[in-house]
C-alpha cells in the first residue's frame, strides 16, 4: 500500500526534527555536564596556584601559562606563512598547475590526524633538531597543524575584497605590494583574524600533537626551550591516570570556557565581517 505524501511528510519532520533536537541536546549536555561538575571546583586559588602531588591538590596555574604560550607561538609562526600563502595565491599568481599543487598540499595537510603531527614533531623538532620537549617544538608542530586553517580563511577573506578597490589603488600609482598592504589586507582583516582565532581554539584543545612535542612539565617555563603542560594535556593526564577526578573536572571547565570564548569571538568577528560585506 502506498503511504500518502502527507503522512511521509509528517514522519520526515518528526524524524529529522527529533534528530536535530537530539544532536543539540547531546552537545549541550556535554557542556552543561562539564561546567556543572567543574565550576564548583574552580576558585581563584585553583587558577593561581601551582599543582601539588602531580595535580592531586593545588591549582593549575602553570598549565594556564602553557595553554596561553603554545597557541601564541603557533600563531606567531603560522600567521605570516598562512597569510603570505593566501596573498600569493590570490594576488600574485593566476590559477595554474602550481597553485593546484599548493592547494592540494594544503587540503591534505588539513586532513592529517593530530597524532601524526605529534609523531613528526617528536622525531623532527624534539630529536633531529635536538630542541627537546619544549614550547618551541610544540609551537612549531601546532603551527604546521593550523596552517591550512589560516590559509583557507585568509584566502576566503582576501577573495571577498572587491576588485574595484585594487583597481583604484593601482590607478593611483600603487605597486602590487602597496595595494596588498594598504587596501587588501586591512579590508580582509576581520576574516583573517577569524581564521587565527579558530586556530587558537584548535591549539588550546589539542592533546596528541602537544604531549609528544611540548612534553608535560608542571614547572613554570623560563624560556621557549622549556617544557610546558597545557590544560588539555593536564586534564588528559589527571583523568586517564585517575589522579584527581575533581581537579580534572575543574580543568575541563576552564578548558571549555577558554575554547568556547575564543570560538565565540571568532564567529562574532566573522558575522560582523559578513554583515559589512553585504551592506
Partner 1 sequence: MRNTGERIVQNALMLVAFSALASLLLIAVFIFKEGLPFLLRTGLRDFLLSSDWRPQEGHFGIYPMIVSSLWVTFGAMLVGAPLGIACAIFLNEFVPKSVMRVTKPTIELLAGIPSVVYGFIGVIVVAPLIRSHLGGPGLSVLCAAVILGIMILPTVISISVDAIGSVPNSYREGALALGATRWQSVHMVVLKAARSGIVAGVILGMGRAIGETMAVIMVAGNSVKIPHSALDSVRTLTANIALEMGYATGQHRQALFATGIVLFVFIMILNSLAMAAMKKSVK
Partner 2 sequence: MSDPVQISVRNLSVYYGKQHVLRGITLDIPSRHVLGIIGPAGSGKTAFLRTLNRLNDLNPDSRMEGKILMGETEITHSDCDVVSLRKRVGMVFALPVPLPLSIYDNLAYGPRLSGIRKRFQLDEIVERSLKAAVLWEEVKDRLQTSAFRLSGGQQQRLCLARVLAMEPEVVLLDEPCSGLDPISTARIEEALMTLKATHTIVLVTNNTKQAARVADTTAFFLMGELIEVGPTSRLFVAPTDSRTNEYISGRFG
d(CA 133, CA 216): 8
From the list 63-71, 173-181, 193-201, 208-216, the region that binds partner 2 by CB under 8 A is 173-181
- If binding is defined by CB under 8 A, does position 175 make contact with partner 2? yes
CB of 162 to partner 1, least distance (A): 22
- If binding is defined by CB under 8 A, does position 31 make contact with partner 2? no
264-279 per-residue burial string, b: 16 or more CB within 10 A, e: under 16: eebeebbeebeeeeee
User: Rounded to 5 degrees, what angle do the CA atoms 29, 145, 119 make?
Assistant: 100
Which of residues 54, 109, 174, 257 is near partner 2 by CB under 8 A?
174
* DSSP SS3 for 58: strand
Q: Which of residues 7-46 bind partner 1 (CB under 8 A)?
A: 8-9, 12-13, 15-17, 19-20, 22-24, 26-27, 30-31, 33-34
Number of residues that bind partner 1 (CB under 8 A): 84
- If binding is defined by CB under 8 A, does position 100 make contact with partner 2? no
Residues in the chain: 279
Residues 178 and 169 sit within 8 Å (Cβ to Cβ): yes
CA atoms within 13 A on the CB side of 182: 14
Residues 6+ apart with CB under 8 A from 143: 73, 74, 75, 77, 78, 81
d(CA 241, CA 72): 28
Interface pattern 131-170 for partner 2 (x via CB under 8 A): -------------------------------x-xxxxxxx
Which of residues 26, 94, 128, 275 is near partner 2 by CB under 8 A?
94
Which of residues 60, 74, 135, 151 is near partner 1 by CB under 8 A?
151
- If binding is defined by CB under 8 A, does position 205 make contact with partner 1? yes
- If binding is defined by CB under 8 A, does position 90 make contact with partner 2? no
From the list 39-47, 50-58, 131-139, 258-266, the region that binds partner 1 by CB under 8 A is 258-266
Q: Which of residues 79-118 bind partner 1 (CB under 8 A)?
A: 80-81, 84-85, 87-89, 92-93, 101-102, 104-109, 111-118
- If binding is defined by CB under 8 A, does position 5 make contact with partner 2? no
**Residue 2 burial (C-beta neighbours within 10 Å; 0-12, 13-18, 19+):** exposed
Which of residues 137, 207, 244, 247 is near partner 1 by CB under 8 A?
207
Give the residue from 194, 198, 188 showing the smallest Cα distance to 277.
Answer: 188
- If binding is defined by CB under 8 A, does position 172 make contact with partner 2? yes
Specify the residue, 56 or 159, whose C-beta has the smaller distance to partner 2. Answer: 159
Which of residues 75, 192, 214, 252 is near partner 1 by CB under 8 A?
252
d(CA 144, CA 141): 5
Neighbours of 102 (CB within 10 A): 16
Q: Which of residues 176-215 bind partner 2 (CB under 8 A)?
A: 178, 182-183, 186-187
Beta bridge partners, 51, equal 58
- If binding is defined by CB under 8 A, does position 171 make contact with partner 2? yes
d(CA 67, CA 90): 33
d(CA 195, CA 26): 27
Binding site for partner 2 (CB under 8 A): 94, 162, 164-175, 178, 182-183, 186-187
Amino acid at each position: 500500500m502506498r503511504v500518502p505524501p502527507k503522512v511521509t511528510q509528517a514522519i520526515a519532520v518528526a524524524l529529522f526534527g527529533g534528530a536535530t533536537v537530539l544532536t543539540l541536546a547531546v552537545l549541550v549536555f556535554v557542556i552543561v555536564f562539564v561546567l556543572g561538575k567543574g565550576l564548583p571546583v574552580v576558585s581563584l586559588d585553583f587558577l593561581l596556584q601551582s599543582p601539588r602531588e602531580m595535580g592531586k591538590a593545588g591549582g593549575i596555574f602553570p598549565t594556564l601559562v602553557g595553554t596561553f604560550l603554545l597557541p601564541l607561538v603557533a600563531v606567531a609562526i603560522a600567521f605570516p606563512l598562512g597569510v603570505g600563502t593566501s596573498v600569493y595565491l590570490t594576488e600574485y599568481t593566476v590559477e595554474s598547475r602550481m597553485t593546484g599543487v599548493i592547494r592540494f598540499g594544503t587540503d591534505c595537510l588539513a586532513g592529517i590526524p593530530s597524532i601524526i603531527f605529534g609523531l613528526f614533531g617528536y622525531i623532527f623538532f624534539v630529536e633531529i633538531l635536538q630542541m627537546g620537549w619544549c614550547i618551541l617544538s610544540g609551537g612549531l608542530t601546532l603551527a604546521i597543524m593550523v596552517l591550512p586553517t589560516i590559509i583557507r580563511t585568509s584566502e576566503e577573506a582576501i577573495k571577498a575584497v572587491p576588485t574595484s578597490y585594487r583597481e583604484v589603488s593601482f590607478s593611483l600609482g600603487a605597486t602590487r605590494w602597496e595595494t596588498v598592504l594598504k587596501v587588501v589586507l586591512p579590508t580582509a582583516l576581520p576574516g583573517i583574524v577569524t581564521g587565527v582565532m579558530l586556530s587558537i581554539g584548535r591549539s588550546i584543545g589539542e592533546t596528541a600533537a602537544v604531549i609528544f612535542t611540548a612534553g608535560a612539565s608542571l614547572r613554570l617555563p623560563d624560556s621557549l626551550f622549556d617544557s610546558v603542560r597545557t590544560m588539555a594535556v593536564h586534564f588528559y593526564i589527571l583523568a586517564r591516570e585517575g589522579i584527581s577526578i575533581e581537579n580534572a573536572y575543574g580543568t575541563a571547565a576552564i578548558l571549555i570556557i577558554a575554547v568556547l570564548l575564543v570560538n565565540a569571538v571568532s564567529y562574532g568577528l566573522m558575522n560582523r565581517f559578513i554583515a559589512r560585506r553585504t551592506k
